Structures are given as C-alpha cells and as structure tokens.
C-alpha cells in the first residue's frame, strides 16, 4: 500500500473516531542524548557484540541497545520513556529496526539490562523496574553499574519481580537466554575494568570478534610450531 493511500485510510478512520497507532517509521527514534559515559557505551556494545556472535546462525531474535521501546499511545505522545540500554527479544525475525514498537511486533522484550549511574539509579531501580514489571511484562530485568559493579537481577513470578539468586561464583542465570552473566576483569575498547559478560552455564565466556581472531591466531601459531618440531616449514605446507 502506498504512503498516500495509507495516509488517506488513516484520516478516514480517524474521522470515524478510530485511533490508529503510529508505525515504527512515524515515531521518533533518536533523541540525540548519548549514554552517560564512554564506559557505559562500551559495556552496551560488549553485551551486544558477544551475544550476536554467539547466535550468528540464528534468525529468530532481536537485540537492541539504547533504543526507544514504545508500548502505549500515551507513552508515545508524552515521550517520557526512552527505552532500555540493552534488551533481547526472542522468537521474532532477525532484521533491522529503528525502534521497538510493541503493538507492531506484538511482543515485549524477554530480557532487559539497564546500565545504571549515580544520576539514573533511582529511576532505573524504581520507575523503570515498575514499567518493566507492570506494563511491558518483561520476564527478566537486570541492572548493572559499570563503575561500582553493582549487579542485581529480577525474574517475574505471577506478575511480580523476585530477586535472582547469584550462584556460588556470583553469576546471574538468565533462564530466558539459557546463559549466565558474570564479571570479568579485562580490557575492551581500550578500557580496563570489570565488565559484565555473557557466559555459558559451564562458565565459558562468549567471545568478542577480537577474541575470536586472537584465538585463531594462537591456533595457527601452535600448528606452525608443531610443524617446525617435525622438521617442516609451515610456509611450505598446504
């Protein structure tokens, strides 16, 4: 349907008192407000990058970062809720989106992570938690402070959030994603700190693209060393 025909149909329906929710293309998707700090932005990218690599062969999910999430017409009109720092939706086509519009997708996120700071902590821990529990009905909600490493998680039971209990290693388990979240000391995008990382239930970190490349480089070097020990020139072996 062309834009002109769609607009005409919308005006006709509105004339008869039928409210048509705006589409993804009609809603704002960028408020120009950056994340709190470069570390917050890097933490978001780390969560996205490693999970997308882990699910490289899957086509049934969407991962969003610092993206608008629209769940009601009132919220869309008021523009008083920007959306999560990180979220995952399962069981949907893997494709690009400008924002997440619940009435278009007919689905809310399965998991949300907020990267809190001193200026956002109260809103993330109280107001947003209430929205995720009561309005978006997000099954799992987690917050993490990239500077203090404060980490807390909640799972919905009978419509209300209950605290996630960390395991013996301090990891939080996401039943939705069948993965864990763990703290890792290291360097990512030139920042050395304790990062929040995805890991398998067995404790293996989901690698970044750089880590995958480094693992492959080390594998090639080990193979070359074995060939030299056998008296062979690695450069002459096909």
Which tens digit of pLDDT belongs to each residue from 123-161? 999 999 999 999 999 999 999 999 999 999 999 999 999
pLDDT of residue 3: 41
Mark whether 200 and 167 lie in a shared domain: yes
Residue 9 is predicted with a pLDDT of 47
210: phi then psi, degrees, rounded to nearest 5: -65, -40
Per the CB < 8 A criterion, the answer to whether 143 and 132 are in contact is: no
Together in a domain, 118 and 146: yes
DSSP collapsed to 3 states, 84-136: CCEEEEECCCCCCCCCEEHHHHCCCCCEEEEECCCCCHHHHHHHHHHHHHHCC
Q: Are 165 and 83 in the same domain?
A: yes
- Answer whether residue 3 is part of any domain: no
Write out the residue range of the structural domain in which residue 226 sits: 208-238
CATH, residue 107: 3.90.1570.20
pLDDT digits (tens, 9 = 90+) for 45-82: 999 999 999 999 999 999 999 998 988 777 666 666 67
Per the structure, how many domains does the chain have? 2
Averaged pLDDT of the chain: 87
Same domain, 167 and 64: yes
Instruction: Say if residues 108 and 134 touch (Cβ distance below 8 Å).
Output: no
pLDDT at 18: 45
Cβ(221)–Cβ(187) below 8 Å? no
Whether this model's pTM surpasses 0.95 = no
Name the one residue in this structure whose structure tokens are 């293309």.
25
Q: What's the average model confidence in pLDDT over 11-25?
A: 56
Q: Is the pLDDT of residue 21 over 80?
A: no
My answer on whether 222 and 134 are in the same domain is: no
Q: In this structure, are 67 and 98 located in the same domain?
A: yes
């Amino acid at each position: 349907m062309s834009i002109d025909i769609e607009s005409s149909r919308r005006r006709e329906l509105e004339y008869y008192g039928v409210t048509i929710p705006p589409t993804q293309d009609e809603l704002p998707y960028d408020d120009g407000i950056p994340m709190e700090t470069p570390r917050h932005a890097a933490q978001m990218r780390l969560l996205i990058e490693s999970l997308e690599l882990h699910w490289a062969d899957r086509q049934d999910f969407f991962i969003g970062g610092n993206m608008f999430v629209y769940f009601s017409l009132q919220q869309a009109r008021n523009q008083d809720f920007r959306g999560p720092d990180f979220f995952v939706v399962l069981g949907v086509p893997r494709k690009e989106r400008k924002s997440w519009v619940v009435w278009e997708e007919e689905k809310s996120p399965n998991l949300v992570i907020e990267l809190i700071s001193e200026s956002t902590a109260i809103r993330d821990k109280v107001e947003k938690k209430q929205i995720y529990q009561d309005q978006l009905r997000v099954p799992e909600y987690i917050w993490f402070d990239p500077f203090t490493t404060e980490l807390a998680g909640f799972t919905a039971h009978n419509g209300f959030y209950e605290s996630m209990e960390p395991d013996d290693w301090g990891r939080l388990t996401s039943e939705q994603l069948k993965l864990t979240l763990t703290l890792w000391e290291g360097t990512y995008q030139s920042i050395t700190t304790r990062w929040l990382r995805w890991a398998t239930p067995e404790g293996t970190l989901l690698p970044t693209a750089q880590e995958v490349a480094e693992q492959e480089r080390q594998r090639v070097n080990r193979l070359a060393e074995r060939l030299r020990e056998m008296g062979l020139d690695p450069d002459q072996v096909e």
